[in-house]
Amino acid sequence: MQIRKAVITAASQAQRHLPLQTLVDRDGKQKVALCVIIEEALSAGVGEIAIITCPGDEAAYMAAVKGYSARLQCITQPAPLGYGFGLYCARNFVAGDPFLHLVSDHLYTSSLHRDGHLVTCAQQLIEVAQTEDCSVSAVQATRENKLPYYGVIGGRRVPGQSNLYSVENVIEKPTPTEAEQNLVVPGLRAGYYLSFFGMHVLMPSVMTILEQYVTRAGTRGGIQLSPALAQLATAERYLAFEVHGRRYDIGVHYGLLNAQLALALSGHDRDEVLAQLVELLSTSE
């Protein structure tokens, strides 16, 4: 199985400007967040990328990432009917192929090196998906106090694998009560759950499931991806992979600052940034 396509959803009404925020990447180059995300996808061998945008945002987005325009296409999400609907808008682009899906408000740092080279999070995920030949979502062990922000999976560790789980249940932003009843994963510390990393490799069958939701919801909206993934888990093999890396949600309070620091501290400007931070700490009251 080859993953040649990626879909980036960037049509959230409240966060439409987030992907256009500027920051400095690991290599010390200034670029918008969307570029960093696109590069993450390209690093994994993806050839074509679709960005799902709000109507009217296409030009601004394409201008911001013009260096990659040959591989990009913008798809307009016609109505704010939910995150799941956003992804569903890419069904023609996907056209029956498995695809990498990234969200536009997360940035990633990887901690895995192989042969002296950094293996990005997207690379790690795609390798697993290709090996296992099924849908795989990247996940991260998350303390229960962060449950209100993420989709969370429940499942069991795949025998013989340290960071691969077969998914049995998916719930979007569960309460801790719900999580404790339905999402406990054996082997994890008490109060920790596997939450989505904002990165998935999905089989085209997910589009079929989303279509059912879209049909049922009509113009009411509220179409989410998590219920569709929960259904996917009941229908076919669906895994979760604990990535060697971290995600940074740039949409939360100080999220962009945090993500910037993480990128800087994992790149070649690390010493310079650290020195600046130390100076800042020593002079601040």
Partner 1 sequence: MRQSPDELPLEMTMSQLIDIITSPDPSLRNRSLDAWCRTASVSELLAECAALETFRRQRDNLYERVRALFFLYAIHRFHLPEKPGMPARGLVPFEGYTHLLNRRFEEAIDVFLAAQAADGPTDAISSALAAAYHSLGFQTLANQVRRSVRSVHGNQWMFRMGHPADHPLRVRPELLHPHGELTDLTLQSDTTHGDYLAFPILRERTPVRMDLSHSGWSDIFFLGMDFPEGARVLNVSIDLAVVGRDTSPKPPVEAYLRVIDEPVLKLASVDLGASAVISDLAEVFDFAKDYLGLLKAAVIAAGIVPPGIEGSGQSLAHLLEMVVGPGLGLEIVSSVNNIPKGSRLAVSTSLLGSLISVCMRATGQAKSLTGPLQEHERRLVAARAILGEWLGGSGGGWQDSGGLWPGMKLIQGELAIEGDPEYGISRGRLLPSHRILTDTDAPPEVRRKLQDSLVLVHGGMAQNVGPILEMVTEKYLLRSEAEWQGRQQAIHILDEIVAALRMPASDHDNPVRAIGAATTRNFAGPIQTIIPWTTNLYTETLIDQAHTTFRDKFWGFWMLGGMSGGGMGFMFAPEVKHDAQAGLLDIMSSSKRELEHALPFAMEPVVYDFAINQNGTYADLLAGDEALLPAGYYAMNVPQLLRRDQRQLSRVQRDELDRFATACRTRPELNGMVQILFDRLLPRTHAVGDGDRILFDLLDESGFDHTQHEHIRDELRTGRIGLAQNRLPTNASIQDVSPDDVTDVTFTSHPEWRDAGMQALANGEVAVVSLAAGSGSRWTQGAGVVKALHTFSKLGGRHRSFIEVHLAKSRRVGTLYGTPIPHLITTSYLTHRPIEDTLKAKENYGYQGPLYLSPGRAIGLRMVPTVRDLRFAWEEMPQQILDEQAQKVRESLHHALIDWARKTGEASDYSDNVPLQCLHPVGHWYEIPNLFRNGVLQELLQVRPQVKTLLLHNIDTLGATVDDALLGQHLLSGAALTYEVITRRIEDRGGGLARVDGRLRLVEGLAMPHEEDEFRLSYYNSMTTWIDVDKLLAAFGLKRGDLSDQDKVLASIRTLAARMPTYITLKDVKKRWGQGQEDVYPVVQYEKLWGDMTSLPEVNSRFVVVPRMRGQQLKDQAQLDGWLRDGSAAYVESLCQWA
Residues of the shown chain interacting with partner 1 in the complex, contacts defined by CB under 8 A:
143-148, 175-181, 184, 190-191
Q: Coil, strand, or helix at residue 246?
A: strand
Minimum CB separation of residue 64 from partner 1 in Å reads 28
Minimum CB separation of residue 219 from partner 1 in Å reads 15
The 8-class DSSP code of residue 47 comes to -
Of 71 and 173, which CB lies nearer to partner 1 in the complex structure?
173
Minimum CB separation of residue 191 from partner 1 in Å reads 5
Distance CA(122)–CA(20), nearest Å, equals: 21
Minimum CB separation of residue 149 from partner 1 in Å reads 10
Minimum CB separation of residue 144 from partner 1 in Å reads 5
Of 117 and 216, which CB lies nearer to partner 1 in the complex structure?
216
Report the interhelical angle of 33-43 vs 121-132 (nearest 10°): 40
Of 180 and 269, which CB lies nearer to partner 1 in the complex structure?
180
Minimum CB separation of residue 222 from partner 1 in Å reads 9
Q: Which residues contact residue 255 at a Cβ distance below 8 angstroms, ignoring those fewer than 6 apart?
A: 105, 248, 249
Q: Which two tokens stand for residue 189?
A: 């510390």
How many beta carbons lie within 10 A of that of residue 246, not counting itself? 16
Of 145 and 215, which CB lies nearer to partner 1 in the complex structure?
145
What's the alpha-carbon Rg for the chain, to the nearest Å? 19
Of 62 and 184, which CB lies nearer to partner 1 in the complex structure?
184
Q: Which residues contact residue 58 at a Cβ distance below 8 angstroms, ignoring those fewer than 6 apart?
A: 74, 76
Distance CA(83)–CA(75), nearest Å, equals: 14
Q: How far is CA 146 from CA 180, 192, 248, in A?
A: 14, 10, 13
Of 47 and 187, which CB lies nearer to partner 1 in the complex structure?
187
